[in-house]
Structure 1
Amino acid sequence: MLTEHFVASISAQTKANTGVTKDAGIFFHEFQPLAAQRHVFKKSATAQNGLAVSSSHIFAAQAEKAVVHVYSREKGNQEAVVPFPERIHSIALAAKDSVLLLGTESGRVLAWEICSGRLVSTSTSHLQPVTSLAVDPTSSFFLSGSPDAMIHVWSLPAILSFSPDTSRSPVHTLSTHRGPISSIVCGNSSSSANIAISTSEDKSAIVWDYYNGQLLRTYLLPELPQAMTLDPADRACYLAYGDGSLQTVNFYDDLQKTTATDTLRDAASSHRPIQPPPKTRFSAESQKLGAAMALSLSWDGQTLISGHTTGKVAVWDTAKGNYLSTIANLPGPVTNLKFLEPTGFPNAREPTFRIQTVVRPKQESGISDGNALVPSNYTLSMQLNDLLRGPATSATEPGPGQTSFEEALVHPNFPRAMLDASLAELATWNVLSNGAIAPAADFLSLNEDAGADGMQGVSSNGTSELQELKNQLASLQRIQKVTFQQLSELREEKEYLLREERKRSQQKQHQAKSKSKSHLTNGSTSDVEMSDNGSSESDSDDAASDGSSEAAPSE
C-alpha cells in the first residue's frame, strides 16, 4: 500500500505565566492513507532550515546552540548529541544522504561525512551566518544564503576532494538581492538547465541559472515571504506570508500561450520584474492559523501543507487554492515541514547502502603519506545492501576505444574465455623451444633457490629464441621483397594490357569510319550511272523520230 509521511519540528516556547519552557520535539506523521501521528522525538528545539531527514536518521540543529541532535528512525530514539565549535544556523543532506552540510555562524559551510566522520570546511565567504542551504539533485553543487544578501554557489566534489590543490572557494556569487536571504530552493532537474529560486527580505523572489550564475526572472512580492517550496515539475513556487496566507508564483503563465519563446529564459525580459496577480494569493481567514513559517509539497504536487506559529499544520489544494483541513495541532510554532518520499511502490529497489551508525565528526587532519591523497586513518562505516550501481558495462563487447581487457577490468568478473586463454598462455611460458618443460624456478628467475645453472639455462634459451626470431624476420623480409617485385611486374603488365586495349579500340573506331565513307562513295557513283543511261536513251528516241520525219517527204 502506498504510504506517505511528513516530519515536523517546533521551536521552544514558554508556558503561560510560568516562564518554564515547554518540551519541544520532532513529530513523525502519517499523511496517507490514514492521517495520524506515529512517533515523537523529544528534547529538540529547531529553528527554520535546521532539520534534515534521511532514510535512517533525523538531524536537528538546535536553535541558538552549537549542537546537532541525531535520531535513529529505525530505533526511534536519540542516537547522539554532536557538538560543534560554533552555532549551526542551517543544515542540508547531500550525496545520497551520506554528507551533512552545516551553515555556521562565522559564514562558512561545514561538510560532515556521516559514515566516516570526516569534517571539512569551506572558505569564510559570507559576512554573516549561513541561514539557508539548498543542494543540487546531482549533489554536484549546493547554494548558501546569508543575511549579507549574498548567495554563493559551491562545488561539492571540490569541497570533499582530498587533493590539497583543490580550491574550496565559491564557483559563482549571486548578488542581486538587496536584503537578507530568507530561503533558497533548488530545482528538481538533473540537467545543466536546472534552476534555483531565492527569496529575500527586500520582498523579491529571483529565479537563477546557477550553473552559469545568471539571473532569469525577478518577481516583486506584496509582503516579506517567510517560507517557500517548489513544484515537483519546476512549474511554480509557493510562498508563505506573515498573515497566514499563501501565494502561487507561476513561471509559465498566460504569456507563454502567445509566444513560442520560453519566457523564463528569455534574455530580453530578464531585466523586467514581474508582479504576480492578486488572484494567485489565497488564505483561510476563518481558521486563525497564524503566521506561516514552513511549507512542503507532496510528491505529486497536488497537496500543500503549511506550518504556523499557532502550532497548526494546514492542508491546501494547490489546483484550486483552497484550504482543506488542519491535520495536526502541535505544542509550539512549526519551524520545519518535510514530506518524505512515499513508500509501498511495487518492485521498488532498496538503497545500495545503509548507514547503521553515524560516526562523530573529527576535523580533517593533514595527509599522513606524502605519496597518497587519502589519509591512512580514513575508514567508512556502512552496510552494503546491493551491488553498487555504476555504468552499464559488458566484458564480452568492449565499448568504443576500449580493449576487451580494459572492459573486463570494470566488470564484476572476468569472462571465462579470457581466463582460459590466459591460463593457456601462462602454461606455454614454461615450455622451452625444443619442447622440453623448464623448471618452475627458471621462469623469470624469481625463486631465490634458483642457482647459476638455472640462470644460464634461461639465458641460453633466450639466445636461441632470439636467433630463431631473427631468422624468421629475415625470411619475412625476403618474402616481402619478392612480393614487391611481383607487384611491380603485375603493375607493368596491367599498364601494357591497358595500352593494347586502347589501341584495339582505336583501330575498331577507324575501321568503322572508313566503312561508312565507302558506303557513301558507292551510292553516289550508281546515281551518276543511272542518270547517264537515262540521257542516252532519250537521245536515241529523238534520233528515231528525226529519221521518220525526214523519210516522209521522199515518198
Structure 2
Amino acid sequence: MGGMATPLEVVVSADAGSQLWNLTVFDLHSGSSLLSYRGGNSAARSLTVLRGEFLLSAQLGKNYINVWEIQRKDQLQQKIVCPGMVTCLTASPDGVFLAAGVGEALHLWEVSTGKLLCVLSRHYQDITCIKFTDDGSHFVSGGKDNLALVWNLWGVIQLDTSQTPEPRHVLSRHSLPITDLHCGCMGAQARVATASLDQTVKVWELSSGELLLSVLFDVEIMSVTCDPCEYFLFCGGSDGNIFQLSLCSQSLLRERSFQSDSEGNQVLKGHGNMVTCLSVSMDGTLLLSGSHDETVRVWDIQSKQSIRCLAHKGPVTNAVIMPAPANMFLPDSRPAVPLLRFSRHLHTTEDEGGEAGEVCVRPALHAQKEEETYLQKAEHLYTLMTAVTDRSVCGDGESTKVHVAELKEEVQILKKVNRELYEFSSQLLTKPT
C-alpha cells in the first residue's frame, strides 16, 4: 500500500470480459486501482462479502460460486458447487446465512456448518436478485416471473419440513420481469424498491406489502438503489440514463410518470449503454454506476456531475461501494473461521446426529461466546443481592431475612420454569416426525 492510509470505503467491480482477473478494487476518492482478485468472471448481482473475511461471487453462466479469502487476491480459495446455474447471490448482514438463486429456486445455507437449510420454490422463473434487510430479519427475492417475494428468515428456517414455506408477502404489481431491487434501512419497517422491464420502479412497505409508489419511465429500468437517508431513488435505464427520483416531492400521486423538474427529479447523463448496477456511498454524497458500455462511473450527487470514469474490459456485471474490510489490506491476516464445505442437498444422511429433516441453527462460530443461561443469571443476581443485604446494617435485619426468603422463592420458581422448559423442548425434539 506504500504508506497510504487504508480507505474507509472502496469500489469493488467486475465485468464479463476480463481475462486476467475477476474483481477489481478501486479507491473511491482517487479512482486508483488497489487490488484485483484472479479467477473466472462474476455473474451479475452475485458479488457479496462474508463477515469481512471472504469475497464470494457466482461464476458467470456456471453452477458454482467462487470464494476468495479477502486478503489473498492471487488465488481462488474454493468453489461452492450448486445444483444448477447461480443467477444471484447474497449473504445476510451478520454473515450467518448465504442465499442464492439457482434457477427459479432459492437456496439458503447456514455458513458456519455449510448446511443447506431450505430450498424455496415459489418463483415460476429464474430469480434475478435477492436482498436482506439491514437487520437480517427478512429477505426479498425478485424474479423473471414479475414477482417479488418477501420472506421472514426465521419463519423459513424453523419450519417443520413437511410444510411448504410461504412468503410473508407476494408483491405482484409488475407486468414484466424484475431486474433489481433495493432494501432500505430500518429492518422489518424498511421500504423496498423494485425495478422492472415494464418501465416502472415501485416502492413498497415491507411490513404490510403495500404499494406506496409507482413511477413510470420511458425506458426499461435495469437497476435501482437509494441514498442512506432515502431522499432519492436512483434508477438505471436501459438507454444509459440514470434517473434521480425525489422521494420528498410534493406530488401525492401514488402512480406518476417521471419528469425532470426543480423538485430534485433529475437525469444523470454519461453512460452509452444500459446501467446494470448502482450504489451510494455511506455519507450519501457519491453515486457509483456500472454499465454495459464497459465503464464504472462515480457521480457527485449534489452537482449531478460524473467526476470519475473507470474503464473496464467488458460489460460491467457488478459495481458496489463497500466499507473496506480490515483484512483486505493486511497480507498476513487469515479468516478467523474457515469456510466448511457447503452441502448441495437438503438434510443428507451425512448430517451428524439429529433426526432427518430436523433443522438446528447454531449461532455463527464467530458469535459463539459462552452465554450464561437465564438460570445462571438469576443465581448470579441472587448471590450478588444476598452479599449486599448480608452486609446491610439497616434496621434489625428482619427485612433482610424477608428479602432473602423472597429471592430464594424466586430462584425456586425459575428452576421450576427452567425444568418445565427443558422437559417441553425434550419432548419436542424426541417427538417422532
- TM-score, normalised to structure 2, is 0.76
More helix by share: 1
- Alignment partners' CA distance in 2, 1:382 and 1:123: 25
> What residue is the counterpart of 1:207 in the other structure?
203
Larger Rg: 1
5+ residue gaps, structure 2, are 327-334, 389-433
Native 8 Å contact 2:142 2:149 kept in 1:
yes
- Pair 1:25-2:45 in alignment: no
Q: Identity of paired residues, percent? A: 19
In structure 2, give the amino acid aligned to 1:250: S
Native 8 Å contact 2:242 2:269 kept in 1:
no
- Pair 1:142-2:125 in alignment: no
> What residue is the counterpart of 2:219 in the other structure?
223
> What residue is the counterpart of 2:184 in the other structure?
187
User: Where in structure 2 are the equivalents of 1:126-275 lying within 5 Å?
Assistant: 126-161=123-158, 163-164=160-161, 167-190=164-187, 192=189, 194-255=190-251, 263=252, 269-270=253-254, 273-275=255-257
Instruction: Please state how far the C-alpha of 1:360 moved relative to its aligned partner.
Output: 1.6
Instruction: Please state how far the C-alpha of 1:244 moved relative to its aligned partner.
Output: 2.2
> What residue is the counterpart of 1:88 in the other structure?
86
> What residue is the counterpart of 1:17 in the other structure?
none
- Pair 1:6-2:11 in alignment: yes
Q: Deviations over 1:314-336 (max 9, x none)?
A: 1111122222222x212222111
Q: 1:339 aligns with which of 321, 325, 328?
A: 321
- Pair 1:123-2:120 in alignment: yes
Q: In the superposition, relative to structure 1, how do residues 410 and 50 fare at CA in structure 2: closer, same or farther (>3 Å)?
A: same
Instruction: Please state how far the C-alpha of 1:235 moved relative to its aligned partner.
Output: 2.0
- Alignment partners' CA distance in 2, 1:5 and 1:86: 31
> What residue is the counterpart of 2:43 in the other structure?
47
- Pair 1:356-2:323 in alignment: no
> What residue is the counterpart of 1:69 in the other structure?
66
In structure 1, give the amino acid aligned to 2:40: S
- Alignment partners' CA distance in 2, 1:175 and 1:360: 36
Q: In the superposition, relative to structure 1, how do residues 86 and 407 fare at CA in structure 2: closer, same or farther (>3 Å)?
A: closer
Instruction: Please state how far the C-alpha of 1:146 moved relative to its aligned partner.
Output: 1.0
Native 8 Å contact 1:140 1:156 kept in 2:
yes
Q: How many residues align?
A: 368
Native 8 Å contact 1:236 1:250 kept in 2:
yes
Q: Deviations over 1:249-290 (max 9, x none)?
A: 1111134xxxxxxx4xxxxx44xx1112134343445xx654
Q: 2:277 aligns with which of 282, 294, 299?
A: 294
Native 8 Å contact 1:315 1:325 kept in 2:
yes
Give the RMSD, CA atoms, in angstroms: 3.2
In structure 1, give the amino acid aligned to 2:256: I
Native 8 Å contact 1:12 1:24 kept in 2:
no
- Alignment partners' CA distance in 1, 2:124 and 2:300: 40
Instruction: Please state how far the C-alpha of 1:370 moved relative to its aligned partner.
Output: 5.6
In structure 1, give the amino acid aligned to 2:36: V
* SS class of match (1:254): coil
- Pair 1:282-2:267 in alignment: yes
Q: In the superposition, relative to structure 1, how do residues 247 and 356 fare at CA in structure 2: closer, same or farther (>3 Å)?
A: same
- Alignment partners' CA distance in 1, 2:191 and 2:336: 30
> What residue is the counterpart of 1:489 in the other structure?
none
- Alignment partners' CA distance in 2, 1:373 and 1:337: 38
More strand by share: 2
5+ residue gaps, structure 1, are 14-21, 256-262, 264-268, 345-353, 396-405, 422-555
Q: Deviations over 1:320-376 (max 9, x none)?
A: 2222222x21222211111112679xxxxxxxxx7521112123327855699556x
Q: In the superposition, relative to structure 1, how do residues 253 and 23 fare at CA in structure 2: closer, same or farther (>3 Å)?
A: same
